[in-house]
Amino acid sequence: MTQGKKSGGSGNSSRAGKGSSGRSYRGKAGLTVQPKKMRGRKPSSQRWLTRQLNDPYVNETHRRGLRSRAAIKLEQMDDKFGFLRPHMHVVDLGCAPGGWLQVVSDRCRLSQGKGKLVGIDLLETESVPDAEIFVGDITEPDMLDKVSAAIGGKADAVISDMAAATTGHRPTDHLRTMGLLEIALDFADEILEPGGIFLTKAFRGGTDKVLLDALNLRFDKVRHIKPEASRAESVEMYLLATGYRGAPTAENDEID
Ligand SMILES: C[S@@+](CC[C@H](N)C(=O)[O-])C[C@H]1O[C@@H](n2cnc3c(N)ncnc32)[C@H](O)[C@@H]1O
């Protein structure tokens, strides 16, 4: 199912203002985050609430009408490495609630009518200007064809912030996210232009070397990035692979 092409606005209330990059996505007055009652909440919930309330990026997210805190991470990575360029063709894997879509739409200046942005998620994503969004699993057999048709052939960039629902058991969560990374890389192999880029969420941990080898076989350069907005205590990090050369043959691809 396709939804929400070329219409805008997030559903979240937010305060007017501009963020560190100076871009406001929404200008309504609104949200003030205040602790109401801490009593009766579990300690873990109290910690989460306190962290949220004291997190400048959460405030910035609300103030600028960004759909997710992750949007700020993408901006920070792009500020540093400048991989989002005007009029690119971009596929965003795991796009809900739409923060990365907002940033790509803006930074790739898609409102000028050139370039394409396609997002996919298991969950519904509210529409984002100049983005075409599919609801479904990226492994669905017809998903690649639908995305190719929507993007008009090949993509300049595949970006993936996909994360599996967490279990709280760190090794399991790690393996699940790494599994998604492999799936995202398979998807990229099918749709990336030579010279294209692949940005993906990853976790620091044991299986990374296999994936890194797979990336190094395909791309000219692979960088590890920990954007400032990614919490220091989190094992989350991102891999930015640039200069796609194509998938290797099955014999020398350790992932197969
Ligand atoms: C951290 S969120 C993405 C946030 C997004 N980058 C943003 O800025 O709004 C991860 C998303 O990956 C999606 N996801 C996980 N596995 C998926 C799959 N197999 N196919 C499609 N989406 C998937 C989840 O539904 C979730 O919405």
What pLDDT digit, counting tens, does each position of 130-171 carry?
999 999 999 999 999 999 999 999 999 999 999 888 888 878
Measured from the Cα of 103, ligand 1's closest atom is: 8
- The rounded distance, in Å, linking the Cα atoms of 222 and 13 is 38
Confidence (pLDDT) at 219: 98
User: Average pLDDT, stretch 210-235?
Assistant: 92
Whose tokens are 């048709």? That residue is 149
119 lines ligand 1 (CB under 6 A): no
What Cα–Cα distance (Å) separates residue 234 from each residue in 20, 41, 119, 152, 246? 22, 23, 25, 37, 32
Which residue from 64, 162, 183 has its CB within 8 A of the most atoms of ligand 1, so it is best to mutate? 162
Confidence (pLDDT) at 66: 97
108 lines ligand 1 (CB under 6 A): no
Give the domain 2-6+68-252 fold. Rossmann fold (3.40.50)
177 Cα–ligand 1 center, Å: 11
37 Cα–ligand 1 center, Å: 31
145 lines ligand 1 (CB under 6 A): no
238 Cα–ligand 1 center, Å: 15
pLDDT one-digit tens code per residue, 1-31: 344 443 333 333 222 233 344 455 543 334 4
163 lines ligand 1 (CB under 6 A): yes
The yes-or-no answer on residue 201 being catalytic is yes
Catalytic residue among 201, 209, 221, 226: 201
Confidence (pLDDT) at 177: 83
97 Cα–ligand 1 center, Å: 8
User: Average pLDDT, stretch 224-246?
Assistant: 92
Confidence (pLDDT) at 41: 75
What Cα–Cα distance (Å) separates residue 130 from each residue in 102, 112, 143, 255? 9, 10, 20, 35
